Structure 1
Amino acid sequence: MSSTVDRTQPGDTTSSSVGGSRLLKVLRGSAGIAIAMAVMNVGTYAFQMVAARLLGPSQYGAVAGLMALLMVLSVVQLGLQATAARRIAAAPDDVAAIEQTVLTTTWRAALVLGGLALAASPAVWWLLRLDGLLPAVLLGLCVVPVTVMGGQAGVLQGERRWLPLSLVYLSVGVPRVLVGGLALAISATEASAMAGVLVASWLPVLVGSWALRNRKHGAIVTAHDREVRRDVRRETYASSIALLAFVALSNLDIVVARQVLDDHQAGLYAGGLIVTKAVLFLPQFAIVILFPSMSTAGESRAAVLRGLAFLTALGAACVAGAYLLSGVALVFIGGDDYDGVQDELWLFAVLGGLLSVLQLLVYAGLAKRGRWTKYLVWLGVIALLGAGALATSVTALAVTAAVIDLAVVALLVALQVFRGKAGTETLR
């Protein structure tokens, strides 16, 4: 190997100053990821709740559409994180080349994507029927820090450095609700909401940069290291395509709603999606923890089965809760302004449960570099856009999305079974 990396970071080993803190001890383990991601998701959810209350259904529908597009536009973040985590876990001998390539590619990709998003801001303005161009411009600027955070998190995840990764996740959720809520309190507009999101999005980048600040890389000069670099870039591209399909499938229904429903109905749908996102994001820590195991020979099958069992049970509990406590759920999505969707909140919980299982199966495919996963999910996206355009009500669109997600989940489960029976790690 021609390049070396100093992987010793302050906070990674037990010391008298850090070891005395019970909180930091918890954050060092996988339990810390669960706590940090729970806080992150609560913060993200709280921001949506604050926005829904302060903006009302019509304007909140536009903000929800902007946030959905942000997820789609920043999909390279997920691809970089998945690639870095998988490669570092599966090939620890190539850590230096992988990390150097990921971190360099991350910044380049972030700037390119941000520029493209800015250029497309007039189209976003038209597509989401925004009050002005500024919210769309701010959306484009948000792409840069969100993408950078993905590459940094992937390196930390692959090394299973749970403490700094936990701090990154904590810095995603808490600042979003605090900064975003403050911006909305000052001015309850679409532009204020996105300005708050933009400022908050740079904080996890600062934390990630601090965690990786002592990296020392030599030049990539050997043929082996150059091949590792090329392969990492190819895998990042392939992972991004697969994750783009998932992000599109889980977010484009609100964009469809803004096109086929009136502003009030689209706002009600966006309110229901707060329940969907809560159920989807609640167990995300399990995927973060399991993904390195899914990428490691001998651990993959058991990790996938554990994940499916956990997510299915949790999803069923959330659906039951949304059905029995719909009045309580209504309070958390925005109150009486959204009472038109109260009876359908359990359906949105079903949608979130299906998406959480689908996300696990997508990552299971990425862990084995399977080729068919992305094709099946893209078929779901095409079906959603086609069938969703025929919906005439909130309920019809939610049912359409749920049926399509269920079909894709069934296909991906069948794909996993086929892989297992074939005794291969990839489907060619």
Structure 2
Amino acid sequence: MTVAEARTDERVSAILVSLALACNNAGSYALSLVAARLLAPSAFGELSSLLAVLVIGVVPAMGLQTVTALRVARKSDTSLMALGLTTAAIVAGLGLLLVPVLVLVLHLGSFVPALLLAATLGPLTLLGLFHGLLQGSRRFSVLAGLIALEGVGKVGGSLVGLLIAGNATGALAGTALGSLLVVTVSWVVCGKPRPIRGARVGEVLHTAQAMLALVLLVNLDLVLARHTLPAAVAGEYALGSIVTKIAYWLPQAVGVLVLPRFAHGGSRRRVLPIALLVCAGLDAVVLAVALVLGPGLLTIIGGTGYSGSTMAVWPFALTGSMLALVQILLYARLADGDRRVTALLWAAVVVEVVVVTAWLHGSAAQVVGVSACCVGGLALAGAYVEIRASGRGRA
């Protein structure tokens, strides 16, 4: 394959992965819209809270995917199926143990929805293994297909269950069945790998910690705004956080494509600056739109009910852009086995919580300003650590 053909293939892969991720996220959004119209407010609140727990519950799958992709890229492990099954079993077991807690905290009328949630965690965690196998071997077109299939299985199953049963239990039953179908297809697509002894879960748990901290940073300011700001202002802030997530998710395909190249130090040092520049370039568009449209962007997103808003939107776009850079730097440090990055992420979480709750929570601008500063500082710290590590690697 010529250099030109390789670059064309990479562009096609980037487009396919981007479209698959976008469709997956759009499907989740569509599920929320449909559920809000079909369910009573109390039932919709129950389903939304359970789905939010599911988002946290699949964080180990992200860690499993990252570890698997790096090991495949290095061709350093043959026990990956055992690793995936062990991780999935641990996550599902923890889900079962937490069933009584979920029933109590979320005020569920039955144990069944929480049990279905635990049953869903196993397949979705194992799915991270198959995504990692394809990502590490750079089979990005097939990976894009499985990402799209995941969206169809989870969201489609949830919608079917919701339409049949008309409640959160039916929706979660559909999610569980759809996820099981997707993971079965993924196992076949990846060549029906068999488990062998020698699973090492410690690295997955460490990576999952870092991923959890990143997930918290993406959503933390919204929770803090809900806790500290008046309800109406918190509602506007929730719309602004959509801009944050757009900026964060827009360059997601970049991380998927470059992670296997981070497995080797020399390749990482060459590819990392390019990946950061591509992310910055994509998010520059989001930031420019937010600057030009200003508060009018909230009207476009949320409707005429927000036409009188004067809240600046560009800080949300800036925060999401910084989060996208942090994710790329996180991948680079995890690939190098650097555990300091996890400490940096959790330090940023703690600082943001303390500063907002104890001091700067008088307006939406203060809350998002703290978030932007924490994430920006984290990006600078990650870049400094990477530069120091690269300097030692050349020495």
TM-score norm. by structure 1 comes to 0.75
Please show how residues 85-124 of structure 1 align to structure 2 within 5 Å.
Answer: 85-90=69-74, 92=75, 94-97=76-79, 99-122=80-103, 124=105
1:205 corresponding residue in structure 2: 183
Mean alpha-carbon deviation: is it higher for 269-278 or for 44-53? Answer: 44-53
Q: Which runs of 5+ in 1 are unaligned?
A: 1-25, 221-225
- Counterpart of 1:396 (choices 366, 387, 390) is 366
Q: CA 1:399–1:209 in structure 2 vs 1: closer, same or farther (change >3 Å)?
A: same
Q: What displacement does 1:86 show?
A: 0.6
Which one-letter code corresponds to 2:380 in the other structure? A
2:4 corresponding residue in structure 1: none
Mean alpha-carbon deviation: is it higher for 416-425 or for 359-368? Answer: 416-425
Cα RMSD of the aligned pairs, angstroms, is 3.7
Q: CA 1:123–1:308 in structure 2 vs 1: closer, same or farther (change >3 Å)?
A: farther
User: Matches of 2:350 and 2:97 in 1, distance apart?
Assistant: 23
2:12 corresponding residue in structure 1: 31
Which one-letter code corresponds to 1:212 in the other structure? C
Identity of aligned residues (%): 27
1:407 aligns with 2:391: no
Higher relative contact order (CA 8 A, sep 6+): 1
Q: What displacement does 1:288 show?
A: 0.8
| CA deviation string 1:330-381 (max 9, x = no partner) | 4664423455667433222212111101111111110101021111111001
Counterpart secondary structure, 1:423: helix
Q: What displacement does 1:71 show?
A: 3.2
8 Å Cα contact 1:53-1:334 kept in structure 2: no
| CA deviation string 1:8-55 (max 9, x = no partner) | xxxxxxxxxxxxxxxxxx998662353233233244135426736974
8 Å Cα contact 2:88-2:126 kept in structure 1: yes
Please show how residues 372-383 of structure 1 align to structure 2 within 5 Å.
Answer: 372-383=340-351
Please show how residues 212-291 of structure 1 align to structure 2 within 5 Å.
Answer: 212-216=190-194, 219-220=196-197, 226=198, 229=199, 232-261=200-229, 263-291=231-259
Which one-letter code corresponds to 1:81 in the other structure? Q
Q: CA 1:112–1:50 in structure 2 vs 1: closer, same or farther (change >3 Å)?
A: closer
User: Matches of 2:337 and 2:256 in 1, distance apart?
Assistant: 17
1:82 corresponding residue in structure 2: 66
Q: CA 1:304–1:402 in structure 2 vs 1: closer, same or farther (change >3 Å)?
A: same
1:160 corresponding residue in structure 2: 138
8 Å Cα contact 2:21-2:147 kept in structure 1: yes
Q: Which runs of 5+ in 2 are unaligned?
A: 1-6
Which one-letter code corresponds to 2:78 in the other structure? A
User: Matches of 1:206 and 1:29 in 2, distance apart?
Assistant: 28
User: Matches of 1:189 and 1:323 in 2, distance apart?
Assistant: 41
2:25 corresponding residue in structure 1: 44
Which one-letter code corresponds to 1:400 in the other structure? V
User: Matches of 1:336 and 1:197 in 2, distance apart?
Assistant: 34
Which one-letter code corresponds to 2:259 in the other structure? F
Q: What displacement does 1:253 show?
A: 2.8
| CA deviation string 1:385-419 (max 9, x = no partner) | 21232424433322221111111111111111111
The alignment covers a number of residue pairs equal to 383
2:123 corresponding residue in structure 1: 145
| CA deviation string 1:101-148 (max 9, x = no partner) | 32322331331232244343146527xxx9999877765554333322
Q: CA 1:271–1:67 in structure 2 vs 1: closer, same or farther (change >3 Å)?
A: farther
Counterpart secondary structure, 2:78: helix
Which one-letter code corresponds to 1:364 in the other structure? A
1:303 corresponding residue in structure 2: 271
